[in-house]
């Protein structure tokens, strides 16, 4: 298993939004992993494990 650095909160600029998608227009770097579920319970620098999706 590849070790990942801890998760960090990032400020992003949001573009278009729909019921099931949000466009991020600035604030992420190509290759960044984005947490989309359970993020409300995380603190900055929390250790996480990717269980599905990219990474």
pLDDT digits (tens, 9 = 90+) for 36-54: 777 778 888 888 877 766 5
Task: Quote the pTM value.
Answer: 0.60
How many residues make up the chain in this entry?
Answer: 55
Note whether 55 and 33 are within 8 A (CB): yes
Q: What pLDDT shows up at residue 13? A: 96
- φ/ψ (deg, to 5) at 23: -90, 125
């Amino acid at each position: 298993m590849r070790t990942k650095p801890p998760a960090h909160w990032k400020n992003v600029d949001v573009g278009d939004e729909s019921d099931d998608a949000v466009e991020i227009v600035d604030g992420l770097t190509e290759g960044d992993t984005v947490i989309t579920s359970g993020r409300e319970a995380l603190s900055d620098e929390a250790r996480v494990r990717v269980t599905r999706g990219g990474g």
